[in-house]
Structure 1
């Protein structure tokens, strides 16, 4: 199978404003004195604990100096109760060390470092949106940050003090497109993309990141190289490519398909009415079954190449050879008339 991708164009990812607000409690410890400085140089904290979470992240968790007063912007947590004996934690995230903070579409999860009887981490608090503040009892926690499929996990020790932290996700994104070899867009056609990691698991399969992504969709991912499988239709029009995601950039990738939409008809004469109750098999040149169907007008998207259409009707079998050219959608007629035998290479079995 030939592999081809379009030109790759990079641009910064779009970020939307948040607009949430905190409800303050007089008995809570004071909020941080100032908003974290997104331009402050990061310093790597304790070694992250990642083995108990879903997938291995690429974390960078830093203390940052907060030089100016601020009004907290979001607080949507569960399982967190305020009190004088708790610490305050203010969190922000950005794609790269040099990018501005993200102000929407983040999911924060706070886990206890200890596991329950089932060996799973206990979820202590969550928040959605942009930056977030949590009130936590003293102890050690795991902070999981998700931005689409980009994730990071960091360990933090909470006392009774106020802490401000910045998470650098080292993430970017892919925007997918699909076209035929002549450049015709496949907008509105049955095209999808599956995203896999490059590594194989113990079963010899690639780890699945995302499935059934539609053209035009933007998928946020950690900076890395991914194996992408694009399907046009649901038979054999498949193209594979390895695509690199750069931190802080949007990669636009167009995958070109060499395939066409083929409709089969069994007719008594050329241009005649299709015969109902026909059973079909499409075979490769080697005789392998590519796809099967029943009906008067079976429709398939097939990769370019040569095929044999085998039609069964009323106890008889008709075999017709045809070729698929990229982008040449058409009807293929299989004629039952014996006078057409030499012209269409049809075999009749009584």
Structure 2
């Protein structure tokens, strides 16, 4: 029993001494053994940020907006294709008329088409006519029309196969071949076209604003019969005609007789060419009268002759009117079996009446 008490007293004394040392500020390092090298290294590594295990990324809520990230180019469905100036095909998915999955129908490909006048012009927004033909012919030996579209850019859903794309912008056209699969493609068509605006005038300050004025546009080359290819006919003045870039032979007709002028005009791709053609002509009204300034005699037939005797124009009535090229003419009026003749001159821009006197001195024999 005495031994137990001694051991308890010794234990109590040690505890009391330790507590006293702590209170007096003794270093814990002096009391505790140092960490061994084998234990300290793993502990230090555990404190390194590189060694800390990363927690798993939280799963987004189904209604939460998607995180901003770089979008692969092939998934950019909300922008137009990059401008192309050649026939190179590039993948593209249009932003409209797609199924909910953002892709064409399972068994079809998508084709997006745009066109421009030349390499430096903006895409055409209206006035285009697109026609898609199958490359194979039908039983009649003709290409089958698959689809059409009008306006600016166009989008088509096509079965896999080979097609011909016919693009028309006024009288300017282009044909391209394309092979379609079940993917999405785009094509920029360069038409190499421009515009032509035609006017006419009698003098520099006397433009022809009214009257029977029309233009015909021809190609400059002749065929095997020596004829030019007619491109556009009966074109009104001031109207813009869309044409492929080239040189054209333009015929301006003022009236229906002989007031005709011709010119070769060049159309430049991407440009509007404005041309004014000058006529030497005037409007002439014929009257058969019994006295100067008198009333016109009805039931009269007319023949206007050139100085060489060739018939220029014929007509019937009391007041026939013509547009004639400047120059000298002979006119013969026939009434009640009697022919009356007179000479007159046409001066450029001088519209006037020509009176033929129904008198014995003006009678003539005309064939």
TM-score computed with the length of structure 1 as normaliser: 0.77
Cα 1:159/1:64, change in 2 over 3 Å? closer
- Give 1:71's aligned residue: 95
Work out the CA distance in 2 between the residues paired with 1:98 and 1:266: 62
Alignment deviations for residues 248-294 of structure 1 (CA, whole Å, 9 cap, x no partner): 00011111111000011111121111111111000111111111011
Decide whether the 8 Å contact of 1:263 with 1:298 is kept in 2.
Answer: yes
Aligned CA-pair RMSD: 2.2
Matches of 1:32 and 1:145 in 2, distance apart?
A: 25
Equivalent of 1:36 in 63, 67, 81: 81
Match of 1:230 among 252, 262, 286: 252
Unaligned runs of 5+ in 1: 1-29, 44-60, 75-81
Specify the alignment match of 1:9 in structure 2: none
The count of residues paired between Structure 1 and Structure 2 equals 287
Aligned to 2:347: 325
Change (3 A) 1:120 1:205: same
Q: CA deviation at 1:62?
A: 3.2
CA distance in 2, matches of 1:102, 1:166: 11
1:337 shift after superposition: 2.5
Match of 1:314 among 333, 336, 344: 336
2:152 corresponds to 1:130: yes
Matching residue of 2:208: 186
Take 1:189 and 1:217, find their aligned partners in 2: how far apart are those partners? 16
* TM-aligned CA distance change 1:202 to 1:65, over 3 Å: same
Q: Is the 8 A contact 2:94 2:112 kept in 1?
A: no
Residue 171 (structure 2) pairs with residue 145 (structure 1): no
- In the alignment, the residues of structure 2 paired with residue 160 and residue 72 of structure 1 have an alpha-carbon distance, to the nearest angstrom, of 17
Query: Higher helix proportion, which one?
Result: 2
Matched residue SS, 1:62: coil
Structure 1 residues 349, 206: closer, same or farther in 2, change over 3 A? Answer: closer
How far 1:65 moved relative to its partner? 7.1
> Residues 222-252 of structure 1, C-alpha deviation per residue, up to 9 Å, x if partnerless?
1001111111111111111111000000011
Structure 2: where are the runs of 5+ without partners?
1-74, 99-103
Q: 2:326 aligns with which of 293, 299, 304?
A: 304
Q: Secondary structure at the match of 2:211?
A: coil
Cα deviation, residue 189, structure 1: 1.6
262-271 vs 178-187, which deviates more?
A: 178-187
Map 1:44-55 onto structure 2 (within 5 A).
none
Distance 2:163 2:350 in 1: 59
Paired residue for 2:88, among 59, 62, 78? 62
Contact 1:320–1:334 (CA under 8 A) maintained in structure 2: yes
Q: Given the superposition, is the C-alpha separation of residues 31 and 151 from structure 1 closer, same or farther in structure 2, using an over 3 Å criterion? A: farther
Greater RCO, CA 8 A, separation 6+:
1
Cα pair distance change 1:70/1:160, threshold 3 Å: closer
1:163 aligns with one of 150, 170, 185: 185
Do the aligned residues in 2 keep the contact of 1:274 with 1:297 (CA within 8 Å)? yes
Greater Cα radius of gyration, structure 1 or 2: 2
Q: Please state whether the residue corresponding to 2:269 is helix, strand or coil.
A: coil
SS of the equivalent of 2:292 reads coil
SS at match of 2:122: coil
Asked if 1:258 is matched to 2:259, the reply is no
* 1:95 paired to 2:117: yes
Q: Is the 8 A contact 2:115 2:191 kept in 1?
A: yes
Secondary structure of 2:299's match?
coil
**1:199 and 2:221 are equivalent in the alignment:** yes
1: CA distance, partners of 2:127 / 2:76: 23
**For residue 134 of structure 2, what is the aligned residue in structure 1?**
112
Give the Å deviation of 1:150: 0.8
Deviation, 1:72, is 3.9
